[in-house]
């Protein structure tokens, strides 16, 4: 039985109707599955987010020391428990990944997953704030391209800057929509994110730094002066931009990570001096 036949068999056997709301698109393309799992070794503990029917889980279980699979859907959990009952290296947790304390369950794990697309950025943002260093995930191609874009280019968004601050990232493979059952409406890509020991820039107040980036990109058509005047007094902002040598008419997508760090650090300094 090939993986497509196996997927159809399990879906039929358990009367599975993929839940669109939970992003249930099951990957059956063997080369893509192998690419996602390619860097897993027998020394690794792997956290798999959204194991679904267990197709990728089965490949990971052959390669890894341990697989911790976190799945929100009770029907999938029932299938997984039966499918992996004879495996002593597969642990299944029924939970919402956004509620799981990842550093508590396995701080040194690698993350390997075909992510539910509706929460891709929330999951990646969460992972960047844990001790996890190695993330290989299949996601929507457009989001993969945004993550891996160069800051200061049209494709860049807030997530580009968040990821760049913590990590290096690259697209390792494209996965066409025909490789899933059911086919998603979008193309997909495998992205690899590797956390660095050091942050890319020195930031005095990370919360403020992220708030500035986020505010800027939720109003990306506005100039930097107009978008940030919601959180920084306009006259003060004019002075900050002048001192940082950033044009008032620049748009966020024209700015580098260093530019955002300079704005945040100078604003923080002025706030502290005024207190
Ligand atoms: N890994 C399987 C595969 O490659 O075929 C399924 C991937 S499917 C794109 C995403 C999976 O994530 C689904 O099984 C879905 O139920 C699960 N899921 C959705 N939201 C989740 C959440 N918040 N926490 C954990 N799992 C979630």
- For the stretch 128-142, pLDDT in tens is 999 999 999 999 999
Pairs from 127-134 (Cβ < 8 Å, separation ≥ 24): 127/102, 127/193, 128/162, 128/163, 128/166, 128/167, 128/193, 128/195, 130/102, 130/103, 131/103, 131/107, 132/47, 132/102, 132/103, 132/107, 132/195, 133/194, 133/195, 134/39, 134/110, 134/193, 134/194, 134/195
- Give, using CA atoms, the residue closest to atom 19 of ligand 1: 22
The whole-number average pLDDT for the span 65-75 is 98
Residue 221's pLDDT band (cuts 50, 70, 90): confident
Report pLDDT for 35: 98
Share of the chain above pLDDT 70, in %: 100
- Give, using CA atoms, the residue closest to atom 8 of ligand 1: 24
Q: How far is the C-alpha of 123 from the C-alpha of 201, rounded, in Å?
A: 23
In terms of residues, how long is the chain?
Answer: 275
Ligand 1 lined by 175 (C-beta under 6 Å): no
Closest-lying ligand 1 atom to the alpha carbon of residue 48? 1
* Beta-bridge mates of residue 136: 112, 192
Would the pLDDT of 275 be above 80? no
Ligand 1 lined by 27 (C-beta under 6 Å): yes
Among 29, 50, 101, name the best residue to mutate to test ligand 1's pocket (greatest count of ligand atoms within 8 A of Cβ): 50
Ligand 1 lined by 37 (C-beta under 6 Å): no
DSSP letters for 190-251: EEEEEE-SS-SS--S-HHHHHHHHHHHHHTTTS-HHHHHTTTS-HHHHHHHHHHTT--TT--
Residue 107's pLDDT band (cuts 50, 70, 90): confident
Report pLDDT for 219: 83
Would the pLDDT of 166 be above 90? yes
Ligand 1 lined by 55 (C-beta under 6 Å): yes
Angle of the 257-274 helix axis to the 206-218 helix axis, nearest 10? 120
Closest-lying ligand 1 atom to the alpha carbon of residue 33? 4
Report H helices in the chain: 3-13, 30-37, 55-63, 74-83, 102-105, 120-128, 141-148, 158-166, 206-218, 224-228, 234-243, 257-274
Q: Are 35 and 9 in contact (CB under 8 A)?
A: no
This prediction's pTM: 0.94
Pairs from 126-130 (Cβ < 8 Å, separation ≥ 24): 126/97, 126/98, 126/102, 127/102, 127/193, 128/162, 128/163, 128/166, 128/167, 128/193, 128/195, 130/102, 130/103
The whole-number average pLDDT for the span 247-267 is 93
Report pLDDT for 212: 95
For the CA atoms of the chain, what is the radius of gyration? 21
């Amino acid at each position: 039985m090939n993986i497509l036949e196996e997927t159809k068999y399990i879906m039929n056997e358990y009367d599975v109707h993929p839940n669109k709301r939970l992003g249930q698109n099951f990957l059956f393309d063997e080369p893509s599955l192998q690419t996602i799992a390619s860097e897993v070794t027998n020394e690794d503990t792997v956290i798999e987010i959204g194991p679904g029917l267990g197709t990728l889980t089965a490949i990971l279980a052959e390669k890894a020391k341990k697989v911790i699979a976190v799945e929100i859907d009770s029907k999938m959990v029932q299938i997984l428990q039966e499918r992996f009952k004879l495996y002593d290296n597969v642990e299944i947790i029924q939970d919402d990944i956004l509620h799981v304390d990842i550093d508590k369950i396995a701080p040194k794990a690698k993350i390997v997953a075909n992510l539910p697309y509706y929460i891709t950025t929330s999951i990646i943002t969460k992972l960047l704030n844990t001790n996890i260093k190695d993330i290989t995930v299949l996601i929507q191609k457009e989001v993969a391209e945004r993550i891996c874009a160069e800051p200061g280019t049209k494709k860049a968004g807030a997530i580009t800057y968040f990821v760049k601050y913590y990590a290096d990232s690259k697209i390792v493979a494209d996965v066409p929509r025909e490789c899933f059952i059911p086919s998603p409406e979008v193309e997909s890509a495998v992205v690899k994110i590797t956390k660095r020991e050091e942050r890319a820039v020195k930031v005095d107040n990370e919360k403020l730094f992220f708030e500035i980036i986020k505010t800027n990109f939720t109003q990306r058509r506005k100039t930097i002066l107009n978008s940030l005047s919601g959180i920084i007094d306009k006259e003060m902002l004019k002075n900050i931009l002048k001192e940082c040598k950033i044009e008032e008419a620049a748009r966020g997508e024209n700015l580098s990570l260093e530019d955002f760090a300079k704005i945040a650090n100078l604003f923080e300094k002025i706030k502290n001096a005024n207190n």
